[in-house]
Amino acid sequence: MNYPSDFHQNFSDFAGDFHAAQTVFAEQISRVAPLSKAEKRAFESVDRRVFIPQGFEKFLYSLDALPIAANQWISSPVTIAKMTSALSLANADSVLEIGCGSGYQAAILAKITRRVFTIERIERLLTEARARFKALNLTNIHTRFADGAEGWANYAPFDRVLISCETASVPAKLLDQLAIGGVLVTPIAGEIARFTKDNRGGFKERRVDSCAFVPMINGVERL
């Protein structure tokens, strides 16, 4: 992605002032992907350091995707911002996320909405994400080790559903678990697709922006 010539901030200027660095980080993101006040506060308040893989500390405030365990990636903060904004979280009480990964997206959501339910199919990733949530005292995130295509019927319907992996089509169970009037956001064919469920159970689709994600895979991967 090409950013404005004056875009990149030298974060060494903020040595010892973590909160100032986080504020500038959120501002950088919002220059590429406009954020609401609540969304911007979330990026300011979620400790980015907790989610950066060992050996990549110098990329703490990079706006690029970074590799994590199990051949997966922590998405670009700009992509996370676009996905979050597409959900239109105002007045949303519960969000289901498919593909917890590092947990960073779930942490951002948890700062905006009351309850986040996140599913991960790779046990190692979920174990690490749970430790991060505990370290950050994010008690409103509920986690499940399972095949994400199955959703989480016990807590449905959800006001919002976010699929953090590329899908050829949206799994029927996830559409069924979305509340009337709810929004589902997913990557499809390199684009962020937004589905709104009407009062007859039909869906209106809109493409929001381009994106890149790992594909959705069925089943689970144990330690």
Q: Which residues are catalytic?
A: 75
Q: What are phi and psi of 123, to 5 degrees?
A: -60, -40
The strand pairing partners of 186, in sequence order, are 193
Other beta carbons within 10 Å of 176 = 13
Greatest distance between any 2 Cα atoms in the chain: 54
**DSSP output for the chain:** ----TT----GGGGTT-HHHHHHHHHHHHHHHS---HHHHHHHHHS-GGGGSPTT-GGGTT-SS-EE-STT-EEPPHHHHHHHHHHT--TT--EEEEE--TTSHHHHHHHTTSSEEEEEESBHHHHHHHHHHHHHTT-TTEEEEES-GGG--GGGPPEEEEEE-SB-SS--HHHHHTEEEEEEEEEEETTEEEEEEE-TTS-EEEEEEEE---PBP--S-B--
